[in-house]
Structure 1
Amino acid sequence: MKICFLIHSRYGIGGVISSTARLASALSARHDVEVVSLHRDRDTADIRLDPAVRAVDLLDWRPTAADCAADDPLSAEPPRLFPAKDGGRTKQNSRLVEVRLARYLAATDADVVIATHPGIGVVLGKLPGDFLKIAQIHQASNTLFADQRRGFEQSPAGLDAMVSVNSEDSENLRRFFPWVDWKITAIPNCVEPAAIAPSDTTGHTLIAAGRLEHRKHYDELLRAFDQATADLPEWRLRIYGRGDQKAKLAQLIKERSLEERVLLMGATSHMDMEWPKAAIAVSASSTECLPMNLIEAMSAGVPVVSADCDYGPREIITDGEDGILVPIRDVDAMAGALLKLMTNPELRAKMGAAAQSASRRYLPSVIASRWEALLTQLAGARTVHTAADVVSNPGGDLHVELPQDMDHPGLQLRCVARTGSHAAAMVDYAFLPTDGTTRRLRATIPARDTQLGEGQWSMTVHSPVDDVQRLLRCHSYDNRFQAEADQPLPGDGFRYRLAFPNDDNSLVLHVWDRPRHAEARMIKRDDEGFTTQFEMWGAQFSAAARVLAVARVDGTPSFEVPLLTQGERYGEFTVPYAVAAQSRLAEHDVWDLHVDPGTDELIPIGRFFGDFPQVKQVYDYAPQVLDEPTEAAGRWLFLNKHQDVPAAVRVRPFFTVNRTLALNAVVLKAQ
């Protein structure tokens, strides 16, 4: 199998670079492995790759390079595929990066491509390719930028898997992306066994390592160390790393007269040689997905004191056995834990031995085997049939059919909520053989089934055997009986549902489930106004029934119009355009139309029956322009210092994206 890793740059020092290098080296024992660096800005890399791993650089920024990226005009153009906000990599992203990456992926013969940064993962999901596509997430999910999350959501079928390095955080990713076509799982990064003898924990040195940035809270660590060593002057603290907090930390060290006992060591690519010098490793971070520095310390036989932040430390450390966890941002607790280990050499030795033993689960051979198992599973998942035939019968049952699949027994139709208060909920329906001759499987959502609440549900096929969930593609749909539907599903209130392919051909089930509903049957318009005929479900009219126009600007009714009722369920009303024009006080006003059946309850008027979802685009009503300036229009113009400009008002009824009836009025200023 040929495996390709995409990394922003291998020319630097960092957890992602070193973790990728280790995994690539481990996999190269049995596979053809390539590491593709999007950027190169220096002659040599700080972290060397195994000779069996090929290195490829897409953009070379060295001024002496024959094809210097800075000379290409595309390097100055903004990206089209990368998230607008992509963390510290935002400034590096450009159209040139996208073009070069697309060109590489179009030519590669890789079986698997793994993106090691969220932004690269977003681009990978949007570009074509027959290889397995995997986004590896090295950071905590709660630190993903909104644009990064939105980028992933825009390509729900663009990836085969998203792999977090932390099992607890992978659950959060499942909640973020419940309806996508990817397997979301967790595989931690790997750590090489110590190259030199482990620590004997008898020394008097604490070591902290990582980027000097705010979330690491080195300032609080300094205070905790100062407090814990008030009577232990022989202890020293070394801090390895670089970052924008260095000057602040240097000043704090001077203020506390700790120049001899707290040392800022700078960055190094040889931390494996430094950890054995420590008696205790320490971290005060407030967020860590999988802190590799702590695993490296444990591999060197060093016990760890760490803030119990989300999510990594508690996955790595067994509190009281191979380290100590303390509450985040708690200087006193950190100082107490440090003091406990500083004053108890026997406990340090015991925890150090346990830490080294626990770190073996992160050995490259162990992690490589987990990756191989995942890749085999994902390759098999691509054989799951996803081209579905959907049939809605006259009674309201919804049937979903697939070819029979002998390789994936026990398949389920899994509906995953995309919207609504039940978002992230999942409901399963079993696929069963239709008969003994057609070799077809059918899952049925009965007409009376009420498990699916109002909202949009992605329709997926779930294989319990290998825990794979894939978006169903529309092979065909037959909803002819819904073209002239005039009745909701059986039961109380109003329930209606419509299965339809999205723009990407994935199947989405639209569900409406309301105790009361006013269904617009017909809208007629003339030069004076528009008339709406509707039917009420779940409520009956009283003599006090009325229609109200509720302004979006403040959520209060702006005007009401008379309601002509026909029996207890049928109603008709007319909205004069002039009334809407006279009721507005802003340049552009919008009102949502509601029925009050006489109970002071506002029931939206909508159009839910039918065989297509895009009601807003299909029902497109012509606007009416009131040529004479209205009193309200004149009042708005006066308030906005346009009192000398005559104006007309354009009024138009329309259906919203939520299929409810609304009305807008816009001032047309003279040119």
Structure 2
Amino acid sequence: MTQRDIFFVANEVNELGGVGRWQPQMAGLLAERGHRVTVVGIAPANHPMDLGDQPPFRTVTLYARRPPGRPRPRRTLGRLDPAVRRHEIHMRAAASRLSTLFQAARPGAMIIVPQVWAMEWVALADTAGHPVIGMTHESFETSRKSSRFARVKKYYKDVDRLLALTREDADRWAVEGMNNVGFMPNPLSIEPGTPSPRTEKVVANVGRLSHEKGVDLLLDAWAEAAPKQPGWTLRIYGRGEAEAQLRQQCARLGLEDSVDFAGQTDDVPGALRASSVFVQSSRGEGFPLVLLEAMATGVPCVAFDCAPGVREIVTHEEDGLLVRPGNTSELARHLVRLMSDAHLRDTMGDRALHNVRRFDPDVITQRWEALFDFLER
């Protein structure tokens, strides 16, 4: 196996969130195989995640403070606008630090850019001939509804490979003219082990309390489900900007006795093993790690089928239940099915524990190694 210099260049080194959790895991897996890994962040994290005392990779952050957004040029001046020119000078200065890192790398190095904002700096850098792998960690549909869609098409069109999270999303990017596209699922972030006994009357939800995660929809569904299964608790783990509004909604729906806002947890597997059902009510997702984690603890999942990554992970009526996006009554019915039927919970939970092994970290890391070898040819 070729030992390589591998660079991850992302918005931040250790931002709390999906990419923030995936990046140190993937960097660590590659470092364990003998690669020399550097994780580069454009800016410091707003909500930093602890990487431990001695992560097996080097970290570099280009800016001491988050740089301002690209100014909109005044119509009469265009790119001659002094504010635009100052912004470009600062970007090029930061990109020169990337150039220095890339130029010092050994032959066979790989540059992985998991977020398109970071790609704006990589595009200005001298990549020294090393292959560049761009990634989009959200579904095609979610990207299409945001400003990132045009930026993915602009900044990733000439990279050596653009990776989506699923084949379905890769095909949709190909229809958009991206002829360099492939797909790579996320690896399982915890080792499948002792499953939940699935005896606690707890439905768990884990994620940021934001509009995108749809906890407001979950509360509406819980208002239908809870009266049909007295004694069950919906335990919501997470913090976020929507928390106060969600607590008000909970009170308005009269759910305070059956909903527990448990705050952020540093022990997601423990929280999942203390539950019997996991529910995800997101409006949009990429390849949700917490679904993998729930399955790895033997907890059956009920989830809105809001992205190809969700149905890539959960097989409906086999190891979990999928719900039409936004349909809170259907979500309530599926929750009640699992809450009321211990045999169904056990059957689906056991299948989930078995099926999730296809995302074993060794399997996914070998796929990355194969991609590196292919791009080096």
Residue 23 in 1 paired to residue 26 in 2? yes
* Residue of structure 1 aligned with 2:63, choices 41, 59, 63: 59
In structure 2, the residue matched to 1:101 is 95
Post-superposition shift, 1:137? 0.8
Q: Secondary structure at 1:288's aligned position in 2?
A: coil
CA contact (8 A) 1:21 1:48 kept: no
C-alpha separation between the residues in 2 aligned to 1:266 and 1:43? Answer: 15
Residue 130 of structure 2 corresponds to which residue in structure 1? 131
Q: Give 5+ residue unaligned stretches, structure 1.
A: 62-68, 70-74, 81-92, 381-671
Inter-partner Cα distance in structure 1 for 2:171 and 2:364 = 20
The answer to which structure has the higher helix fraction is: 2
Does the aligned pair in 1 maintain the 2:277–2:300 contact within 8 Å?
Answer: yes
1:12–1:46 contact (8 Å) kept in structure 2 = no
For residue 32 of structure 2, give the secondary structure of its aligned residue in structure 1: coil
- Secondary structure in structure 2 of the residue aligned to 1:285: coil
Cα distance, 1:147 vs structure 2: 5.0
Per-residue deviation, 1:243: 2.3
> Aligned partners of 1:187, 1:342: CA distance in 2, in Å?
34
1:195–1:272 Cα contact (<8 Å) kept: no
Matches within 5 A, 1:252-401: 252-380=249-377
SS at match of 1:349: helix
Q: Distance in 2 between matches of 1:205 and 1:122?
A: 44
Q: Look up the equivalent residue of 1:28 and give its one-letter code.
A: A
**1:156–1:205: structure 2 CA closer, same or farther, 3 Å change rule?**
closer
Whole-angstrom CA distance in 2 between matches of 1:269 and 1:290 = 21
Q: What is the match of residue 162 of structure 1? A: 162
Counterpart amino acid of residue 172 in structure 1 = R
Of 33, 38, 61 in structure 1, the residue corresponding to residue 37 of structure 2 is 33
Question: Is the 8 Å Cα contact of residues 126 and 155 (structure 1) preserved in structure 2?
Answer: no
Distance 1:156 1:210, change over 3 A: closer
- What's the C-alpha RMSD, in Å, of the aligned pairs? 2.6
Provide the rounded CA distance (Å) in 2 between the counterparts of 1:78 and 1:5. 23
Residue pair 1:276, 1:302 contacting (<8 A) in 2 also: yes
- For residues 214 and 189 of structure 2, the distance between their equivalents in structure 1, rounded to whole angstroms, comes to 27
Task: Give the Cα–Cα distance (whole angstroms) in 2 for the partners of residues 49 and 125 of structure 1.
Answer: 32
CA–CA separation in structure 1 for the residues paired with 2:204 and 2:15: 21
Q: Distance in 2 between matches of 1:50 and 1:201?
A: 36
> Residues 8-29 of structure 1: CA distance to partner in whole angstroms, max 9, x if unpaired?
2234321111111111111112
Give the counterpart letter for 2:100 in structure 1.
A
Task: Note the alpha carbon deviations across 1:317-374, whole angstroms, 9 max, x for none.
Answer: 1111110111111122111111111111111111111111111122211111111111
Shift of 1:78: 3.4
AA partner of residue 37 (structure 1): G
CA contact 2:119–2:155 (8 Å) conserved in 1: no
* TM-aligned CA deviation for residue 47 of structure 1: 4.0
What SS does structure 1 have at the residue aligned with 2:134?
strand
Q: Partner of 1:59: helix, strand, or coil?
A: coil
Equivalent residues of 2:113, 2:135 under 8 A apart: yes
Contact 2:272/2:299, CA 8 A, preserved across alignment:
yes
* Distance across 1 between alignment mates of 2:53 and 2:278: 27
**Counterpart secondary structure, 2:236:** strand
SS of 1:142's partner is helix
Shift of 1:242: 2.3
After TM superposition, the structure 1 stretch with the greater mean CA deviation from structure 2, 274-283 or 208-217, is: 208-217
Equivalent residues in 2 for 1:111-190, closer than 5 Å: 111-129=109-127, 130-144=129-143, 148-154=148-154, 158-178=158-178, 180=179, 183-190=180-187
Over residues 201-234 of structure 1, what are the superposed CA-to-partner deviations in whole Å (9 max), with x where a residue is unaligned?
Answer: 1111111122222232212211212211213221
Quickly say closer, same or farther: Cα 1:94–1:345, change in 2 above 3 A. Answer: farther
Greater percentage in strand: 1
CA shift, 1:235, in A, is 0.6
* Cα distance in 2 for residues equivalent to 1:223 and 1:76: 39
Aligned-pair identity in percent equals: 29
Report the residue type matching 1:118 in the other structure.
Answer: V
* Larger Rg over CA atoms: 1
Where do 1:487-502 residues align within 5 Å?
none
Alignment of 1:486-565 (within 5 A): none
Aligned to 1:2: 5
Mapped partners of 1:251, 1:147: distance in 2: 31
What is residue 83 of structure 2 aligned with on the other side? none
Alpha-carbon distance change, 266 to 95 in structure 1, aligned in 2, over 3 angstroms:
farther
Distance in 1, matches of 2:239 and 2:287, equals 19
Superposition deviation, residue 49 in structure 1:
8.1
Contact conserved, 1:77 with 1:95, CA < 8 A, in 2? no
Superposed CA offset, 1:524-560 (max 9, x none): xxxxxxxxxxxxxxxxxxxxxxxxxxxxxxxxxxxxx
Find the aligned partners of 2:223 and 2:156 in 1 and give their Cα distance: 50
Amino acid at match of 2:139: A
Residue 78 of structure 2 is matched in structure 1 by none
2:70 paired residue number:
78
Distance in 2 between residues matched to 1:221 and 1:176, nearest whole Å? 34
8 Å CA contact retained: 2:11, 2:42 = yes
Residues 144-173 of structure 1, C-alpha deviations (whole Å, 9 max, x = no match): 367544444445763111111222111111
Which secondary structure does the structure 1 equivalent of 2:138 belong to? coil
SS at match of 2:205: strand
The answer as to whether partners of 2:192 and 2:296 remain within 8 angstroms in 1 is no
SS at match of 1:100: helix
Any conservation in 2 of the 1:240–1:265 contact (CA below 8 Å)? yes
| 1:117 Cα deviation after fit | 0.8
Paired residue secondary structure (2:287): coil
Paired residues of 1:17 and 1:47 also in contact (CA < 8 A): no
Report deviation, 1:261. Answer: 1.7
Q: Counterpart of 2:367 in 1: which secondary structure?
A: helix
d(CA) in 1 for partners of 2:361, 2:53: 14
Matched residues in 2 for 1:44 and 1:219: separation?
26
More RCO (CA 8 Å, sep 6+)? 2
Unaligned runs of 5+ in 2: 73-86
Q: In 1, are the aligned partners of 2:203 and 2:232 still within 8 Å (CA)?
A: yes
CA distance in 2, matches of 1:47, 1:280: 30
Contact (CA 8 Å) 2:300, 2:352: kept in 1 or not? yes
- Residue type matched to 1:375 in 2? F
The match for 2:241 is 244
SS in 2 for 1:60: coil
- Residue 97 of structure 1 and its aligned partner are, at CA, apart by 5.2
Q: CA deviation at 1:134?
A: 1.1
